[in-house]
Amino acid sequence: MAAGPGARSNFGAIDADEDALLRECFQDHAAYLAAKSHTHWLIVGRKGSGKTAIFKRLITERAFDHFAYGHTFDDYPWEHHDLQAQLGVPEERRYFHSWKYLILVSLTKVLLNQDQSQPWDDDSADALEGLENFVVDSYGSRNPDLTQLFSPDRELKLKGSLRLGIANVDAEKITIRELPAHVQEVNASVQRSAMQALNPDRDYYICFDQLDLGFTVDDERYAQRLVGLLLAARDLNRAARDAGKRMSVIVFLRDDIYEMLQFEDKNKITENNVSRVEWNRPGGTLTLKDLMERRFGEVYTGGGTADWSDIFDENKQMPSRQSKYAHICDRTFLRPRDMIKFCNEVLDAYTDRHEDADGKFDNESVIAAREGYSEYLLRELDDEIAKHAPVYQEYLEVLKTIGNIHFTSAQFEEAWDGRPRLAKEDRREGLESLFEFSVIGYLKSGGGGGGSKYVWRYMDPRARFDAAAETYRVHAGFKEALDLVQRRARKS
């Protein structure tokens, strides 16, 4: 190793947008490969699992046959989009055509401004000319600003030089305010031309990320928007496949938000189109150790990989008789950002205690890192659970009152009853919320197979809360932040 652990300030950032090592250290997760190969188009995972890293890789990749456009919604004018909601249709389809229109214009931008193979034959030349006339006449540019796509006073030009062949629309132009009444015919014509113009030897991606911005659990319009996007993506992906074109609309979504959505055919999408961003600890195709060894290699040798054992002293086990890698993994949600953060905390703890930058991370440095990491994990929780369970801070106070990582349902009930602010809250719902966000797991007996184990939501997205469970455990990552001790729970 060219330099020891102390010779670097960090191993990357927990936020993909700020991670200077993301491009050099990106790893081909199965979810990325599924999206890139057009086999799955809905990428779900916990916050911090790596969805945005995959999104950024897809939209920034440069190749003669790879074209992509990415949407994020930090400054998107939702009030304009909301005016496009269709009335008199099922709620889940109110935004179906407006999303479809946005995607089709995005695809038109790619065809007109990125794909140098266009036109690739005579039919695509005619289709491309019609698309160009439409966007230039309607938006004044081959490369329109999509945040202004639904500006209410904008006029769409449907006749004249337009070759899209829009039927059943007598007007030569309509305002965006009038679009919902005609959007189905407009979309059909734009889609027909776009599918014709797509080069079958090229890959095209329209990607949507950061859809959780502004999310609130009780906002019906938010859920309707998301469902509309998913249905529009499925419809256009099917159309591209049927036309023999390699085009995908890729949607990146937090798994807890996806689980919240209810709509017809959701199970079909889940079974056929979902790819989960998950990481394995002990084995499998890709692990958090692989991820960090790539980052160690970039930091210390300028490329390649550096073995975990070159950075961490695994010759001496932790006091819990675990390897340092297992000890750290147990305190994460098996997400890249958690592992990066913990290793950064270990690095800080090591450099505070050692003048020698050429040694390996020792037990003391790992133990010292836990407090700062635990506070980070608690802050991360706030972003996910607060909108689902507004009084979740009170739930955490119940755990603090118990004071033990292990507890029984009777102990939880006693501590719950001691919190006046929870008098009108449902204790079972409190336990279930803590389980849903992996603050706690419950002990499940082995049944006929023998043995017992703790069930964790972050380790099995299909796991459901068992109201009959008697024994629980707080996730080890919260131990320091909640000031808990570790003793075995005893039944009352």
Q: Comparing 65 with 181, which gets the higher pLDDT?
A: 65
Query: Residue 311 and residue 70: Cα distance in Å, rounded?
Result: 37
For residue 1, what pLDDT is reported?
Answer: 39
Q: Say what percent of the chain tops pLDDT 70.
A: 91
Is 483's pLDDT higher than 50?
A: yes
Distances 280 to 40, 156, 224, 458, 491 between C-alpha atoms, Å: 20, 50, 33, 11, 33
For residue 159, what pLDDT is reported?
Answer: 62
Confidence of residue 492 (pLDDT cuts 50, 70, 90): very low
Q: Comparing 389 with 241, which gets the higher pLDDT?
A: 241
The pTM score is 0.88
Q: Comparing 92 with 168, which gets the higher pLDDT?
A: 92
Three-state SS letters, the chain? CCCCHHHCCCCCCCCHHHCCCHHHHCCCCHHHHHHHCCCCCEEEECCCCCHHHHHHHHHHCCECCEEEEEECCCCCCHHHHHCCCCCCCCHHHCCHHHHHHHHHHHHHHHHHHCCCCCCCCHHHHHHHHHHHHHHHHHHCCCCCCHHHCCCCCCEEECCCCCCCCCCCCCCCEEEHHHHHHHHHHHHHHHHHHHHHHCCCCCEEEEEECCCCCCCCCCCHHHHHHHHHHHHHHHHHHHHHHHCCCEEEEEEEEEHHHHHHCCCCCHHHHHHHHEEECCCECCCCCCEHHHHHHHHHHHHHHCCCCCCHHHHECCCCCCCCCCCHHHHHHCCCCCCHHHHHHHHHHHHHHHHHHCCCCCCCECHHHHHHHHHHHHHHHHHHHHHHHCCCCCCHHHHHHHHHHHCECEEEHHHHHHHHHCCHHHCCCCHHHHHHHHHHCCCEEEEECCHHHCCCEEECCCCCCCCCCCCCCCEEEECHHHCCCCCCECCCCCCC
CA 350 to the chain's CA centroid: 32
Mean pLDDT, residues 140-144 taken together: 94
Token pair of 373 as six digits: 């990491």
Cis before 180 (ω within 30): no
Is 452's pLDDT higher than 50?
A: yes
What confidence tens digit (pLDDT) does each residue in 158-208 have? Answer: 765 445 666 555 667 889 999 998 899 899 999 999 999 999 999 999 999
What confidence tens digit (pLDDT) does each residue in 397-443 have? Answer: 999 999 999 999 999 999 999 999 999 999 999 999 999 999 999 99
Return the domain boundaries, the chain: 30-276, 281-384, 389-478
Mean pLDDT, residues 101-113 taken together: 97
Is 276's pLDDT higher than 60?
A: yes
Mean pLDDT, residues 446-453 taken together: 68
For residue 171, what pLDDT is reported?
Answer: 67
For residue 167, what pLDDT is reported?
Answer: 56
For residue 386, what pLDDT is reported?
Answer: 80
